[in-house]
Amino acid sequence: EAGVTQFPSHSVIEKGQTVTLRCDPISGHDNLYWYRRVMGKEIKFLLHFVKESKQDESGMPNNRFLAERTGGTYSTLKVQPAELEDSGVYFCASSLPPGPNNTEAFFGQGTRLTVV
């Protein structure tokens, strides 16, 4: 069974450009999460989808970031326009519906974004 897949693995863009990151969750996982680690800091939560609905987007830093999950399958995270401080590693994770005996989230390997 394939794990969580993220595309691209690396992206280098100029300040002011637009970048779209993609995440393909594990098949059947309705819960999808975006996290990121920027500038050598801690990994921080961005948002949580349940199917196509945004369940919690409290971690989204500003309106330059737009996450979508049309159809409840794969998700995209668009940064427009990108700024230097957006550089970092963006992780996607997916899981089954959370429950006391089912809390495991499976993370992808991340997309390393460099804004120059």
Shortest gap between Cβ of 14 and another protein (angstroms)? 25
Regarding 13 and contact with another protein (CB under 8 A), the answer is no
- Other C-beta atoms closer than 10 Å to the C-beta of 83 total 13
3-state secondary structure of 25: coil
Amino acid at 60: M
Rounded-to-integer distance, Cα 88 and Cα 10, Å: 10
Regarding 110 and contact with another protein (CB under 8 A), the answer is yes
- Other C-beta atoms closer than 10 Å to the C-beta of 100 total 5
Regarding 82 and contact with another protein (CB under 8 A), the answer is no
Query: With CB under 8 A, what is the number of residues at the site for another protein?
Result: 28
Regarding 59 and contact with another protein (CB under 8 A), the answer is yes
Given the rule CB under 8 A, which residues bind another protein? 4, 31, 33, 35, 42-45, 48, 55-56, 58-59, 91, 93, 95, 98-100, 102-110
